[in-house]
């Protein structure tokens, strides 16, 4: 084949292989938007609460609760499936404020704070699920020492947390020994939590757990079916 014929053949191949500049490009495939899993969106609020869900939700349920409180545990077990189904819609959020009612609570709630928002759901789920066992050593001690303060010093907090199994529990939720020691030695953070509880008592009348507010209004109901109905009313208003 002559040189001119070879050149024409090569140009013919290029014409087939290379799209024309005038060709219309196919539109890029569009990905469906990722739906937010609001039940896993947890943040710490400026006043120390753990906010689960859409911050802009229409219905905002707040609980002042204690991890050692059996009534809080009962509510958690009764409500958690339905509450998380509500949270998942983005229309409802839930904010948990630790509130001490037993002498072990400052220790427990310090560990909850140090575990952080990403671990909040599992930490609280697991403690409530195992509360009968996890609180047994503390309750036995409290019965024998009704006026003692296990949180008086950093050394006390660490020693009692170890003795009652609280540090071992927190370690299974990702806290190292160094982090645990630092957490329980942080007197200013523990005092800040006490101050927040005093403010909640003064401003909102919180004196026991669980205490609930819905859209800023204190509730006088405690069972999940009643609270669920109150949420429905709030969403329809």
Q: What is the pLDDT of residue 35?
A: 75
Instruction: Quote the tokens at residue 15.
Output: 């014409």
Q: Measured over all CA atoms, what is the biggest interatomic distance in the chain, rounded to whole angstroms?
A: 108
Provide the 10 A C-beta neighbour count for residue 44.
13
Of the ranges 27-31, 149-153, 205-209, which one carries the lowest mean pLDDT score?
A: 27-31
pTM: 0.85
The fold adopted by the segment(s) 39-236 is Glutaredoxin (3.40.30)
pLDDT at residue 8 in the model: 41
The string of pLDDT tens digits covering residues 87-134 is 999 999 999 999 999 999 999 999 999 999 999 999 999 999 999 999
Helix/strand/coil (H/E/C) assignment for every residue in the chain: CCHHHHHHHHHHHHHHHCCCCCCCCCCCCCCCCCCCCHHHCEEECCCCCEEECCCCCCEEEEEEECCCCHHHHHHHHHHHHHHHHHHHCCCEEEEEEECCCCCCHHHHHHHHHHHCHHHHHHHHHHHHHCHHHHCHHHHHHHHHCCCCCCCCCHHHHHHHHHHCCHHHHHHCCCCCHHHHHHHHCCHHHHHHHHHHHHHHHHHHCCCCCCEEEECCEECCCCCHHHHHHHHHHHHHC
93-105 burial: b if 16+ Cβ within 10 Å, else e: bbbbbbbbbbbbb
The total number of residues shown for the chain amounts to 237
pLDDT tens-digit profile of 48-97?
A: 999 999 999 999 999 999 999 999 999 999 999 999 999 999 999 999 99
């Amino acid at each position: 084949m002559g040189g001119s014929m070879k050149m024409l053949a090569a140009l013919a191949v290029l014409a087939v292989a290379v799209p024309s500049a005038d060709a219309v490009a196919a539109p890029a495939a569009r990905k469906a938007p990722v739906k937010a899993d609001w039940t896993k969106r947890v943040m710490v609020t400026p006043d120390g609460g753990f906010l689960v869900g859409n911050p802009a939700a229409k219905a905002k349920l707040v609980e002042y609760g204690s991890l050692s409180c059996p009534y809080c545990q009962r509510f958690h077990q009764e409500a958690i499936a339905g509450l998380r189904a509500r949270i998942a819609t983005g229309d409802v959020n839930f904010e948990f404020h630790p509130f001490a009612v037993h002498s072990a609570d400052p220790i427990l709630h310090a560990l909850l704070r140090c575990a952080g928002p990403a671990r909040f759901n599992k930490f609280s789920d697991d403690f409530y699920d195992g509360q009968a066992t996890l609180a047994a050593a503390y309750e036995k001690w409290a019965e024998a020492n009704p006026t003692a303060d296990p949180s008086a010093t950093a050394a006390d907090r660490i020693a009692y947390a170890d003795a009652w199994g609280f540090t071992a529990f927190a370690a299974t939720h990702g806290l190292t020994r160094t982090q645990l020691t630092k957490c329980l030695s942080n007197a200013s953070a523990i005092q800040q939590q006490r101050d927040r509880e005093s403010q909640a008592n003064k401003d909102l009348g919180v004196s026991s757990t669980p205490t609930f507010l819905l859209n800023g209004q204190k509730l006088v109901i405690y069972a999940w079916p009643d609270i669920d109905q109150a949420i429905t009313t709030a969403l329809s208003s």
